[in-house]
Structures are given as structure tokens and as C-alpha cells.
Amino acid sequence: MVDGLTKVYGEHRAVDDVTFSVEPGRVTGFLGPNGAGKSTTLRMLCALTRPTSGSALLLGRRYEDIPNPGRTVGVLLDASAQHPGRTGRESLTLSALAMGLDRRRVEEMLELVGLTPAEARRRVGAYSLGMRQRLGIANALLGSPRILLLDEPANGLDPAGIRWMRTLLSDFTSAGGAALLSSHLLREVEVIADDLVVIGRGRIVATGSKEELLATAGTVVRSDDDRALEQALRAQGLEPVPSARGGMVVEAQPVEVGRVAAAHRIPLSELRPSESGGLEERFLELTAADAREGVS
């Protein structure tokens, strides 16, 4: 789907040689700190931003080359970017007409996302953020697409709404759809995602199945001089990653890490096998050098 995708603004590389794929029947979580390049990548996927180089293909085509793209790709990038003067039903009806759909599809989508007839008659400007999210999701699903591109779709939803979102994505992928989901709600991503793509400073820092990335692996090590230890480990071809709890995580056995430290006479204060602390801890480890703010 995405191959060598790059976007440069002046001297700033917002997205740098990003490559990953989203498989049918699976939810792919797209994660990264603020400013990491997630939104720019999504905008390039749906032709709102032109790549500097590389390609972003959906079922083998660029978004702009797909006839009637709403029938193939459902997009929700910003739930607030909806005409405030239209009612919810009017917004969906205009989209349905543009895609050549039967108006009955509008009522089906309103029911699917839980907007009542009274809410559908209200103007979007009077909607809460959660209601706008539901309307945006209805719009994304209106054309019965095979791919969903969703940026923070659970933002503004209450716990019941988040659970509904989880079920909706599960049903969509169970029917063979492919979903790319960008979110800061790491615990929710951990529940729903099958695969993960983690980006930091515009570059992919990890990609793979959720099980692979969260599997227990490697060694936690802490020393009196972590900088010297990091240099020694790298000299041996090992790649230490800063741990969210201090020290480093190294994809090697404790005995191997201990030998490197001993050879360089670096006293260790901690040396133990790594234990998976879930997606939040793994995310913090992978993006420690790139994070600007905390995560949800």
C-alpha cells in the first residue's frame, strides 16, 4: 500500500521513506507521537497532500485514479471538518447522491452509527464531538468501501461509544475489509488492532503483528554509565532502545549483554529478561527519542 513515501517541506522531512501495508481482514494501528508524520501520511493516502516521492496505493491504484473513490475507500480524517449549517441527514444525503447511492442507504447508516431521527434533523454545528465522529464514520461507510482510513475516530466518544467503535471495526474486517486506524488511545488500539505500524520523526521505527511487537523479548539493563554502555553495545552490533522505566532494552540474552558490560568494565545496577508491559510501554520504548508529549 505505502512504498518509500516521503514528504518534504523546505528543509523539514515530515515523512521519510515510509513503507508498510494494510492487509484485508485486519485492523492496522498507526501510532506515533505528535508531529511524527501520521496525519501527513494519511493525507497522502487520500490525495489531499502530494508526496515528494514514493507511492501510496489503495488496491493497486492512487486514490485520485479510483473512479468514485468513496465506493472503495472510506475516509475520516477530521470529524470537525463538516459543514455546520447542514443537518446530519443532509450531509449524508449529499454524499450518497455524489456516489450514486440509493437514499435508503442514508437511513441505514444513521441507524448503524446510532444517530436518532431527531439528531439527524439537527444541524451539525450543534453536534457534540462524539456525534460528529459518528456522522463522520457513517459518511466513511456510506459507499460500502473495502478500505477504511481513520484518524482518531474514537476522539470524543464515551466508553459505550468506544466499545461500539471496536465492534464496528471488528465486523468490518471480519467481512474482509482492511482498516488503518491512527489513535492516541493506546489501550484501545491494543484491544482492536491486529497489526501495528509505529512512526517517529517521519520514519518507521517498528512494524509487525501485535503479537510480534508485544512479545516478551530481550534484556533490560541499567548501569552507572548508560551512555558508555550504549556505545559498547552498538559496537557489538546490538541496538539498545531507551526504556520507559529507565535504562535500556536490548534484543539479546542477559548473558550476552553482561559480557559486553564486563569487557568494558561498566558496573551494572540491573540486568534481567525483559517482560512485556503492553502496548503503552512498548510504544514509549520505541518512541522515547521522538516523543513531545505524554500519551493517553
Task: Give the span between the Cα atoms of 82 and 133, in whole angstroms.
Answer: 10
How do residues 16-75 score in pLDDT, each as one tens digit? 999 999 999 999 999 988 889 999 999 999 999 999 999 999 999 999 999 999 999 999
Closest CA to 97 of 70, 132, 77, 75: 70
- Does pLDDT of 261 surpass 80? yes
Predicted confidence at residue 123, as pLDDT, reads 97
How do residues 97-149 score in pLDDT, each as one tens digit? 999 999 999 999 999 999 999 999 999 999 999 999 999 999 999 999 999 99
Average pLDDT of the chain is: 90
- Does pLDDT of 81 surpass 60? yes
**Cell (9 digits) for 148:** 477504511
Predicted confidence at residue 145, as pLDDT, reads 97
Predicted confidence at residue 184, as pLDDT, reads 82
- For the chain, domains (ranges, CATH) are 2-208 (3.40.50.300), 216-275 (3.30.70)
Q: Which of 56-65, 209-218, 284-293 has the lowest mean pLDDT?
A: 284-293
Predicted confidence at residue 244, as pLDDT, reads 60
- Does pLDDT of 294 surpass 70? no
Give the confidence band of 211 by pLDDT, cuts at 50, 70, 90.
confident
